[in-house]
Amino acid sequence: MTARDDDTIGFYTDNAGAYTSRGQAPDRPQLEEFLARLPDGATVLELGCGGGQDSEFMLAAGFDVHPTDGTPDIAKAAEARLGIPVKTLLFEDIGDSDRYDGVWANACLLHVPRPALPGIIGRIHAALKRGGVFYASFKAGEAEGRDTFGRYYNYPSKAWLEDLYGQLGWTSLEIEARMGSGYDKLPTDWLHVTATKS
């Protein structure tokens, strides 16, 4: 089962310039909560870094950040902004083991087809050091579908995510529901998931 949706990748490829130049601010509340759980100077893998604003915030705070994105043009734009290498990385190609203190996956794993998501979470779990912290955010729902731009979303419920994460060894799992928005500027129910590796 592939972990990517070609129509979604196509959207980000076709709209890379607009997507990365819209002046998006870092996701401060979630970032600050995530970073507070990590040791000073911790090594962080960012998945789906987009324009690079979250990596920029973490770098400024003194963390060893490894930003990645699945779309080459977006990775290139983030690299220009950050001044450090940004790797083009698809989720199914995560192959590190016990390397990172934290994995930051803000608004990106929500595009992974439901059948492929357990394997991706497993790869992230393996990439974390013991006690490592994994943050991801999802648009909440009950069934997978597409938005007005044709992007695929897995739209999970809290119970569905609890089930999914429960298949791996985490010492803690916190799922918080918050109202927000996204690229489409529509009101959106978000689920923010923070898990710590045992």
Tens digits of residue pLDDT in 115-174 = 999 999 999 999 999 999 999 999 999 999 999 999 999 999 999 999 999 999 899 999
Residue 60, pLDDT score: 97
- What contacts 134, CB < 8 A, 6 or more positions away? 102, 103, 105, 124, 125, 128, 193, 194, 195, 196, 197
Phi and psi for 165 in degrees, rounded to 5?
Answer: -65, -30
22: in domain: no
Burial of 15 (0-12, 13-18, 19+ CB in 10 A): middle
Phi and psi for 140 in degrees, rounded to 5?
Answer: -75, 150
Domain count within the chain: 1
59: in domain: yes
Would the pLDDT of 51 be above 80? yes
CATH number, domain containing residue 39: 3.40.50.150
Would the pLDDT of 1 be above 60? no
Query: Taking the model in full, what pTM does it have?
Result: 0.95
Residue 21, pLDDT score: 81
Computed over every residue of the chain, the mean pLDDT equals 94
Q: State what percent of residues in the chain have pLDDT above 70.
A: 99
Residue 179 lies in domain: 4-14+28-195
Amino acid (1-letter code) at residue 110:
L
68: in domain: yes
168: in domain: yes
Contacts 24+ apart (CB under 8 A), 19-22: 19/50, 19/51, 19/74, 19/183, 20/50, 20/51, 20/52, 20/74, 20/77, 20/78, 20/81, 21/51, 21/77, 22/51
19: in domain: no
Tens digits of residue pLDDT in 7-40 = 999 999 999 988 888 777 787 899 999 999 999 9
120: in domain: yes
| Length of the chain counted residue by residue | 198
- CA separation for the pair 75, 146 (Å, rounded): 24
Positive or negative torsion for Cα 120, 121, 122, 126: positive
Amino acid (1-letter code) at residue 151:
R
